Amino acid sequence: MSTARTTLHRKDTAKPGDLYVSFELGDKSWKLTIGDGGGAVSRYTVAAGDKSGVADCILRAGKRFKTSARAQVHSCYEAGRDGWWLHRWLTGLGVDDIVVDAASIEVNRRARRAKTDRLDGEKLLTMLVRHHHGEHVWSVVREPTASQEDERREHREFERLTHERTAHTNRIGSLLVLHNLRPGVPIGGRKWASWWTPHREQLGQKLRAEIERELVRLALVKEQVRQIEAARQAELQDGRQPIVAQLMRLVGIGAKGASVLVHEIFGWRQFANRRELAGCLGVAPTPYASGDSQIERGISKASNRRARTLLVELAWSWLRLQPSSTMAKWFNQRFARGGPRMRRIGIVALARRLAIALWRFLRDGEIPTGARMKALQT
């Protein structure tokens, strides 16, 4: 017996006389492709960031197509370097703007295809019209508020600074090894000066000067890391990060991990179900089912790389710090006795389950089964 499944389509929001604008954003110039939805197209080029130029082009196109002054203007551009300021400015003008996930845009599958800014602009314009006629042609990126976007700066800078700290430390160690000097103390740590002072004279003048400049940069990076950590701790103590504090109540999740998960995913995004959450994190499966072919190609690895990487790290910590939880027992029973490949597959599956459990914990207060909580400080 065959069954039919009804698919709900998007509402048709296009109206006669509307204006459609697609942006191709470059470093030095922007290309605007403007159409009336019926085939007529105008193309304009303005300097990057020229807001008055953009507004003038839309007005000129409206006059050319003889659209009403009350006509709705729809626009789109690909998410990228320019971020959200353009979207907020267009929305403030009354433009119905959307920001599109570039990876979701359909492309010709030929081995060689023509690609220019003009063709890309026309393609975006065509898909924008189809989008407003109710077709599902791409993924629209959810907009954070200005304050939510600002909250993400701290942990992203912290990530970058820790990478710089490691780079400076590795560089100094590599330079010392050139003269068979291998410090038995952490480079730049408390005991570093007592080791460095008697050994610095063994090096050439230029090399010694280079290492000391690296040490100055390393000290600056460490100080900036301490400042961010102190600011984060002060916000937690003052109660300005209640969602982060709630997530930190679970054993195995600290301030760094909770901050990233809240400000990247849980603090402002809304998910209808666990599949949407998995898709946002890039841990959703990507099956290939065509005819007799039934292939599972692994996770998609799309969307938020920071949160996905952190969740895998937290999954390993969860096994160690929450061994009596149901999720840890599930992993140990199914994957722990397998080889390295099976454990790698299993840890991603555990990361997906952990993400869903943390989402439910923050949304509904549902504690993961068998998980331990930290004692409340008084």
Residue pLDDT, tens place only, 329-371: 999 999 998 899 999 999 999 999 999 999 999 999 999 999 9
Residues of the chain with CATH 3.30.420.40: 19-132
The reported pLDDT for the residue numbered 1 is 37
Polymer length of the chain: 378
Residue pLDDT, tens place only, 198-236: 999 999 999 999 999 999 999 999 999 999 999 999 999
The reported pLDDT for the residue numbered 303 is 76
The reported pLDDT for the residue numbered 223 is 97
Burial 224-257 (b: 16+ CB within 10 A, else e): ebeeeeeebeebbeeeebebbbebbebebbebbb
- CA neighbor of 49 nearest in space, from 34, 32, 29, 31: 29
The reported pLDDT for the residue numbered 291 is 80
Residue pLDDT, tens place only, 240-298: 999 999 999 999 999 999 999 999 999 998 899 999 899 889 888 888 777 878 887 77
pLDDT reading at 27 higher than 60? yes
CB atoms within 10 A of CB 91: 14
Does this model's pTM top 0.75? yes
The reported pLDDT for the residue numbered 5 is 37
CATH architecture of 19-132: 2-Layer Sandwich (3.30)
Task: Determine the average pLDDT of the residues in 113-137.
Answer: 90
Q: What is the DSSP letter of 77?
A: E
Rounded CA gap, 359 and 311, in Å? Answer: 12
Residue pLDDT, tens place only, 64-123: 998 888 889 999 999 999 999 999 999 999 999 999 998 888 887 777 788 888 888 999
